[in-house]
């Protein structure tokens, strides 16, 4: 079992095909015992080496931006919504955390060349 923390998110990974229900029960008990509540609307069970967190996805151990974030960013660039330098800097800072995993062609076009992604 591997435990990963991303912000205030908890992630437990196992190589088993089915996550052990006894372990899941113990995690919930432990969280409650420490005075916290799980947000079941945000609880996600992944599989096949893919973990999704708010804003990021981890695929076979490599953190990447979510595809829907990239699509939204491309649409915003096309609509001229990324002209503000502070907005661009915020998105660039977010994407820089991914190293080469966040350097997709659309990102290069938006931030390096300054053109629209089309």
62 pLDDT higher than 60: yes
Rounded average pLDDT over 90-117 = 68
99 pLDDT higher than 80: no
116 pLDDT higher than 60: no
Query: Global pTM?
Result: 0.56
- Chain mean pLDDT for the chain: 79
φ/ψ of 10, rounded to 5, equals -105, 140
For 109, the 3-state DSSP assignment is helix
Give Cα 99 to chain centroid, integer Å.
Answer: 14
User: What is the DSSP code string of 16-67?
Assistant: SSS--HHHHHHHHHHHHHTT----TTS----BTTEEEETTEEEETTEEEE-H
C-beta of residue 62 within 8 angstroms of C-beta of residue 101:
yes
Question: Which structure tokens are listed for 26?
Answer: 């113990």
């Amino acid at each position: 079992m591997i435990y990963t923390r991303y912000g205030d998110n908890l992630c437990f990974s196992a190589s088993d095909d089915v996550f052990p229900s006894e372990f899941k029960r113990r995690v919930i008990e432990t969280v409650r015992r420490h005075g916290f509540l799980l947000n079941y609307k945000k609880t996600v069970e992944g599989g096949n080496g893919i973990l999704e967190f708010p804003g990021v996805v981890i695929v076979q151990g490599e953190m990447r931006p979510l595809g829907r974030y990239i699509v939204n960013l491309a649409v915003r660039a096309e609509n001229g919504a990324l002209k503000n330098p502070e907005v661009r800097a915020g998105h660039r800072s977010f994407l820089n955390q991914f190293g080469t995993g966040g350097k997709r062609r659309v990102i290069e076009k938006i931030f390096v060349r300054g053109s629209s992604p089309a």
